[in-house]
Amino acid sequence: MEFLTVLQFLSPGFDRVTLLAVFCTVFALVFDFMKRRQKCINYPPGPWTLPFIGSVFHVSNNNPYTSFEKLRGKYGNTFSLQFGWTDVVVLNGYEAIKDGLVKKSKDTSDRPTVPIYQRYFSGFGQGIVFAKYGQWWQDHRRFALSTLKNFGLGKKSLELRIVEEASFLNNELEAEIGHPFDPHFRINNATSNIICSLIFGDRFDYQDTKLLHLLEIIDESMLLEAGFWAKLVNMFPFIDGLPGPHRRIFQNRMKLVEFLQEIVAEHKEVWDPNEPRDFIDAFLVECEKMKATPNTSFTETSLFSTSLDLFGAGTETTSTTLRWGLLFMVLFPDIQEKVQEEIDQVIGTERKPALGDQKTMAFTNAVIHETQRFGSIVPNSLPHETSRDTEIMGFSIPKGTMVIPNLSSALYDPKFWAKPHEFNPGHFLNDSGRFVKPEAFIPFSAGPRVCLGEQLAKMELFLFFTSLLQRFTFSCRRTSPNPATPAPNMGSPAAQCHSSSVFDSDKLGAPVHRCVLHY
């Protein structure tokens, strides 16, 4: 107020509100001008910007991929944007993403401070997903990976757990014969049960209303986090306290924390440090070990953020990919038939699928990979940030710039894919029908921040997908409109066929051993 009084003294006749507005505008213009000067030497080109809002209006909220493609056509594979006052560089095509995330990984592996997550995590440490690039992230990522390995990642025990869960899922779907139903949360429940087994040492029944509520919460939060309001709050953090849908994100977060608090309390009652049963037990052992270390990041509060990261990241992603897979089977029945022929040949009808089958099931493997490529469920990865000045594709990028790896642009890069905009399992098969993986296949991103759950997700995708297709045939309900050919990059398949995302099933008699599940 002192400052305003001085201004008022210098400009008599103007009221305080007018003076404040004039001052803010001048400040914004000067700040914007200084930023432009700072960036102009060899900075990636980009569209024009406006003070305060930057170039955000050049990017569609519903389909950023199309906007990025337009901008890429005009400015090239490495172009710049400005979201509010945040400088952003978008990397397009496999070559630019590899240069940015792999070759310059030491410079680009930080995460930006996203205001909505800053509030989201306040008091609970950084977790892993949005942790800054440094000791905390390194310690927690390493601990999570090695603990998940100890509890079965890549081992037979976890494989058997997934196969068992796939049977539960099949039973659930079978129980719906003759009734219309939506598979969304059952598949979520199945994938979430795998990560729950690793973190909490337990699974949840498909009728468990508590878990169902939590899965709905995660689903809602993910939609809200990608929505308009969250973007607005990230650009203008000061509106964070205003009412709006973004506040649900914080409320949902608290519900998840409360759920975890209960589970941790139960664990502590029967905790034996010599025999950790799951991730929570192992984390508590680590907390005990590090108790005497000053400023240790292994505390009970950080257990919440890390576990929630694994729980959230490990549920929706794999489940969404599986639902894309089912939708593609509905849309391409000839491909579904070929997958089933391979299943019948290699696995048969009685034995349960095993990971070892993968090497003799080139076509099924190709279909799963093509589902991931064409579905592109995390189209822009997670945002990165430069932790020091760097150079990507010959452009100078200053420290503190947000880097968006446009993963879809690599997954549809015409240099690597013969028919990038078609669902074509042939992309992963060579002339003699053997499975091959082009290097531009990066749905899990690349570099040090590559998805921590890649190995787990791959195990789950193969075992769940083959189990489902061993038991069922998926097709469009005779009375339903055919689900529209999906436009990928939209995240969830339900977004494409909302009205028809209900399955209906009826059983065919012998000699066909599969049930038909109708979309």
Amino acid at residue number 464: F
Does 382 engage in binding with ligand HEM (CB under 6 A)?
Answer: yes
Task: Name 79's bridge partners.
Answer: 90
- Binding range to ligand HEM, per CB under 6 A, among 84-92, 308-316, 348-356, 474-482: 308-316
Q: Of 78, 302, 307, 321, which one interacts with ligand HEM (CB under 6 A)?
A: 321
Distance of CA 243 to the CA centre of its chain: 27
Does 493 engage in binding with ligand HEM (CB under 6 A)?
Answer: no
Handedness of CA 293, 294, 299, 302 (dihedral sign): negative
What is the 8-class DSSP label of residue 102? I
Q: Of 378, 459, 469, 494, which one interacts with ligand HEM (CB under 6 A)?
A: 378
131 to 150: interface string for ligand HEM, x by CB under 6 A:
----------x---------
CA 80 vs CA 75, 217, 358, 409: distances in Å = 9, 34, 42, 16
State in angstroms the smallest separation of the CB of 108 from ligand HEM: 9
State in angstroms the smallest separation of the CB of 344 from ligand HEM: 26
Tokens for 29, please give them: 């213009």
- Binding range to ligand HEM, per CB under 6 A, among 233-241, 278-286, 288-296, 446-454: 446-454
Nearer of residues 339 and 456 to ligand HEM, judged by Cβ? 456
Residues with Cβ within 8 Å of 11's Cβ and at least 6 positions away in sequence, in order, are: 19
Query: At 126, is the secondary structure helix, strand, or coil?
Result: coil
Q: Please identify the residue of the shown chain whose CB is closest to the bound ligand HEM.
A: 453
79, 46 Cβ separation under 8 angstroms: yes
Tokens for 510, please give them: 């012998």
Distance between CA 91 and CA 384 in Å, rounded?
Answer: 11
Nearer of residues 276 and 453 to ligand HEM, judged by Cβ? 453
Distance between CA 144 and CA 202 in Å, rounded?
Answer: 18
Does 497 engage in binding with ligand HEM (CB under 6 A)?
Answer: no
Q: Of 71, 88, 129, 440, which one interacts with ligand HEM (CB under 6 A)?
A: 129
Nearer of residues 392 and 515 to ligand HEM, judged by Cβ? 392
What is the 8-class DSSP label of residue 103? I
- Binding range to ligand HEM, per CB under 6 A, among 210-218, 224-232, 261-269, 376-384: 376-384
Total residues in contact with ligand HEM, by rule CB under 6 A? 25
What is the 8-class DSSP label of residue 514? S
Does 322 engage in binding with ligand HEM (CB under 6 A)?
Answer: no
Nearest to 403 by CA among 21, 104, 176, 57: 104
Nearer of residues 78 and 500 to ligand HEM, judged by Cβ? 78
Kindly identify the residues of this chain, within the stretch 85-124, that bind ligand HEM according to CB under 6 A. none
- Binding range to ligand HEM, per CB under 6 A, among 11-19, 224-232, 314-322, 476-484: 314-322
Q: At what angle do helices 454-471 and 184-199 cross, to 10 degrees?
A: 140
Does 381 engage in binding with ligand HEM (CB under 6 A)?
Answer: yes
Task: Name 474's bridge partners.
Answer: 517
Q: Of 358, 401, 445, 466, which one interacts with ligand HEM (CB under 6 A)?
A: 445
Q: Can you give the length of the chain in residues?
A: 519
Does the annotation place 451 within a ligand binding site? yes
User: What does 49-113 look like in DSSP terms, one character per residue?
Assistant: -BTTTBTGGGS-SS-HHHHHHHHHHHH-SEEEEEETTEEEEEEEHHHHHIIIIIITHHHH-B---
Does 318 engage in binding with ligand HEM (CB under 6 A)?
Answer: yes
Q: Of 89, 222, 249, 452, which one interacts with ligand HEM (CB under 6 A)?
A: 452
Q: Of 112, 152, 353, 453, which one interacts with ligand HEM (CB under 6 A)?
A: 453
Query: At 200, is the secondary structure helix, strand, or coil?
Result: coil
Q: Of 173, 310, 368, 392, which one interacts with ligand HEM (CB under 6 A)?
A: 310
182 to 221: interface string for ligand HEM, x by CB under 6 A:
-------------x--------------------------
State in angstroms the smallest separation of the CB of 514 from ligand HEM: 25
State in angstroms the smallest separation of the CB of 470 from ligand HEM: 21
496, 456 Cβ separation under 8 angstroms: no
Q: Of 91, 128, 233, 497, which one interacts with ligand HEM (CB under 6 A)?
A: 128
Distance between CA 96 and CA 102 in Å, rounded?
Answer: 10
Does 459 engage in binding with ligand HEM (CB under 6 A)?
Answer: no
Query: At 50, is the secondary structure helix, strand, or coil?
Result: strand
Distance between CA 399 and CA 110 in Å, rounded?
Answer: 10
Distance between CA 112 and CA 333 in Å, rounded?
Answer: 43
Annotated binding residues for heme, written as ranges, equal 451
For binding to ligand HEM (CB under 6 A), which residues are involved?
Answer: 128-129, 141, 195, 309-310, 313-314, 317-318, 321, 377-378, 381-382, 443-445, 449-453, 456-457
Annotated binding residues, written as ranges, equal 451
